[in-house]
Amino acid sequence: MQVLVVGGAGYIGSHMVKLLVQCGFEVTVLDNLSAGYRDAVRGARFVLGDLFERDVIEDLCRETGFDGVLHFASHIQVGESVREPAKYYRNNVFKTQNLLDVMVAQRVRCLIFSSTAAIFGEPVQIPIDENHPKQPMNPYGRGKWMVEQMLEDYDTAYGLKSVCLRYFNAAGADPEGELGERHDPETHLIPLVLQAASGRRSHITVFGDDYNTPDGTCIRDYIHISDLCEAHLLALQQLWAGADSAAYNLGNGNGFSVREVIETARQVTGRDIPVEYSKRRLGDPARLVADSRRAQAELGWSPRYADLATIIAHAWQWETRCA
């Protein structure tokens, strides 16, 4: 099977490529390297290109005849999306439509799309299942929800089948230590905490300790990158087997506060982690926890690394390589 991974040089994409290659697929990566790294792409054909260039995608699809596409190429910072909505709608929506149009024209029928818990906005109930109201609160979440709706319409009209996977907090690293999280700038909690542990940063700043949670800090559902990738593989296979389009929420169903993450990181690393407190970050809901029972029931997905200490240990293995 021929698989195209758009954004395959990034954090989640590169782990996905490794899994697909291990499973024996022929993998092509299309990435503009705006946030990814060429050396993170292992064992796959690499094409430097951007979804803006419709001709490039068209030629690629014509030459190779892909059986499926996984699309990871997004900007991901909520705060930045508020300051620069044009950047987010152009990249995450408009360029995605280019990809969909080429897929329709070239009869590539299966897409796995990276969506996000940000499509739900402020939760009205916890845990969050697939039917939870969609009220995104920022351009990042709104763009992802637009694409999800676009995909429904493309299925109805053109028969393009898709699975939208709504990630809660992707975290951790390749258990074999070859790949990990390399965002620049890094904004995610676990890598920042571990950089404070390794000495690459002086401290971790906790954004708000006055939330309505037991310890006052935000609660999130951290999901291991390998488990996330496994869900993509199962979703792709499900589409290939003839299933209908679907959407799944992906998390472990367990919430951990920022303080609990820092405490677990102290235990895993055995290092001191200096903490400072600052005011809340704009747009952060107090609590986000996934109900992933549908993914478990329909995809047969079951997380292997649900334990927070394991997620942090794998991320620490990567951090000690980078530090």
Among 192, 231, 290, 299, interactor with ligand UDP by CB under 6 A: 192
Any contact of residue 258 with ligand UDP (CB under 6 A)? yes
Compute, in degrees rounded to 10, the torsion defined by CA atoms 316, 318, 320, 322: -140
Q: How far is the CB of 187 from ligand UDP (least distance, A)?
A: 5
The region of 38-46, 61-69, 135-143, 183-191 touching ligand UDP under the rule CB under 6 A is 183-191
Query: What's the CA gap between 206 and 261, in Å, rounded?
Result: 11
Instruction: Name the residue among 138, 143, 136, 86 with its Cα closest to residue 113.
Output: 143
222 flagged as catalytic: no
Interaction mask 133-172, ligand UDP, x per CB under 6 A: ------------------------------------x---
Measured from the CB atom, the residue of 68 and 191 that comes closer to ligand UDP is 191
Among 4, 40, 147, 206, interactor with ligand UDP by CB under 6 A: 206
**Strands lying side by side in the sheet with 45-48:** 45-48, 26-31, 2-6, 68-71, 110-116, 161-167, 246-250
Residue 201 — φ and ψ, nearest 5°? -130, 155
Kindly identify the residues of this chain, within the stretch 62-101, that bind ligand UDP according to CB under 6 A. Answer: none
Any contact of residue 189 with ligand UDP (CB under 6 A)? yes
Instruction: Name the residue among 273, 142, 129 with its Cα closest to residue 199.
Output: 273
Measured from the CB atom, the residue of 160 and 268 that comes closer to ligand UDP is 268
Any contact of residue 28 with ligand UDP (CB under 6 A)? no
Interaction site with ligand UDP (CB under 6 A): 169, 187-189, 192, 204-207, 218, 220, 258, 281, 284
Residues identified as active-site: 140
